[in-house]
Amino acid sequence: MKIERIISIIMLLLERRVVSATALAETFEVSRRTIYRDMETINGAGIPIVAYAGSDGGFSILEQYKIDKKLFTLSDITLLLTALGSVHASLSNTELLHTMAKVKGLVPEEHIKDIEQKSSQITIDYTPWFGNRNLNENLAVIKNAIYDKKYLNFQYFDQNSKKSNRMVEPYQLILKDSNWYLVGYCTSKQDFRIFKVLRISLLNVGEETFEPREFSHKLLHSLEAGRKEMIMVKLLIDKSLYSRMLDVVDESGMEAVGEDKLLVQYPFIEDDYGYGLLLQLGSKCECLEPRRVREELYKRMESMIKLYRE
């Protein structure tokens, strides 16, 4: 990607006095013409580039500019490698691996071990422990379709398990609340939609490309406004559920009641998924308020009892 290549070129020029266009072209696997354009871009961004003629010639950053040589300090490089490594853990990509290798190659040898150690101290990995193992494969397919501006065809199951076939112009992948979502323009609905990637199956990329339409990256917020309203329910739970509550409730939202109970203010959406989460807590959880939620839980438990009795 151009921006990654330019960052790497800047770092290389900061570390070395002169680098030839041929050497840069071979390092980054592009043409000499592309390198010349990159130099114009860097110079236009305010970093003064000097060109030297002759057999030992090449490009350099103006020496006076390099007095405070560290446009990128060792700390900056560590943060870059940490960020790239975390993205790669979630969205495996050979280009990212290639970029990480290049960035590491620009670090002075005496510092590389320390930087590798520090950059590995924080890792973000959203691949599942179990369940849908096709997630990473689908993410790679979607990412490539976004880059190539190609239609995606897939089967989709909504939150009520209703199945539909979709043809979508893909625009954005979003990681939110530990789940990946695709934002795209659905040709059948004639509007932008958000699709949970885990509910996508039979995914394939179409042959035709699409002309991107006007798309706001703030679309997610406007679409979320249409979701069901979240309310707070009051739960009385056994203390053994404390660690599970910490997944969704801050400690300030829990109050001790006696020696073995907790009163919890729990964020809740009134749909099948929300009720399912409460029912999973079993007899160690009692919903106190609001009354309508308590009564709906009772009805659902009655239906379950009837099912097993029959």
Residue 161 sits in a domain of what CATH number? 2.30.30
Q: What is the mean pLDDT of residues 256-273?
A: 89
Boundaries of domain holding 107: 74-119
pLDDT of res. 209: 93
Domain check: are 9 and 59 in the same one?
yes
Q: What is the pLDDT of residues 138-172, one digit of tens each?
A: 888 998 899 899 999 999 988 777 899 999 999 98
Range with top average pLDDT, 6-20, 102-116, 188-202, 206-220: 188-202
Mean pLDDT, residues 227-255: 86
- Would you place residue 69 in the very low, low, confident or very high pLDDT band (cuts 50, 70, 90)? very low
Asked if the model's pLDDT at residue 112 lies above 80, the reply is: no
Q: Taking 80 as the threshold, does the pLDDT of residue 236 lie above it?
A: yes
Residues 188 and 155 reside in one and the same domain: yes
Range name among 97-101, 128-132, 169-173 with the lowest pLDDT average: 128-132
Tell me the whole-structure pTM to 2 decimals. 0.54
Per the model's pLDDT, the better-predicted residue between 125 and 261 turns out to be 261
Same domain, yes or no: 237 and 281:
yes
Q: Is residue 160 part of a domain?
A: yes
What distance in Å separates the CA atoms of residue 294 and residue 288, rounded to the nearest whole number? 7
Mean pLDDT, the chain, rounded, equals: 81
**7 shares its domain with 52:** yes
pLDDT at 217: 63
Same domain, 140 and 220: yes
**Number of domains forming the structure of the chain:** 4
In a domain, 97, yes or no: yes
Same domain, 206 and 167: yes
CATH number, position 35:
1.10.10.10
Residues 235 and 301 in one domain: yes
Residue 128 in any domain: the answer is: no
pLDDT at res. 252: 84
Instruction: Assess whether 220 and 235 both reside in one domain.
Output: no
Q: Is residue 130 part of a domain?
A: no
Q: Does residue 278 sit in the same domain as residue 296? A: yes
In terms of domains, do 108 and 33 share one? no
Residues 93 and 157 both lie in one domain: no
Q: What tokens appear for 207 in the block?
A: 């042959």
Residues 33 and 52 grouped into a single domain: yes
**Mean pLDDT, residues 261-265:** 93
* pLDDT for position 155: 93
Whole-number percent of the chain with pLDDT over 90: 27
Supply the pLDDT for residue 67.
Answer: 44
pLDDT at position 223: 54
Question: Residue 125 domain-assigned?
Answer: no
Would you say residue 126 lies in a domain? no
Question: b/e string for 215-245 if b means 16 or more Cβ within 10 A?
Answer: eeeebbeeeeeeeeeeeebebebebebeeeb
84 vs 293 pLDDT, higher one: 293
Q: What is the pLDDT of residues 266-290, one digit of tens each?
A: 999 888 888 998 999 999 999 999 9
Q: Would you say residue 299 has pLDDT above 90?
A: yes
pLDDT of residue 180: 86
- 129 domain-assigned: no
In terms of pLDDT, which residue wins out, 309 or 93? 309
The answer to the question of residue 127 being in a domain is no
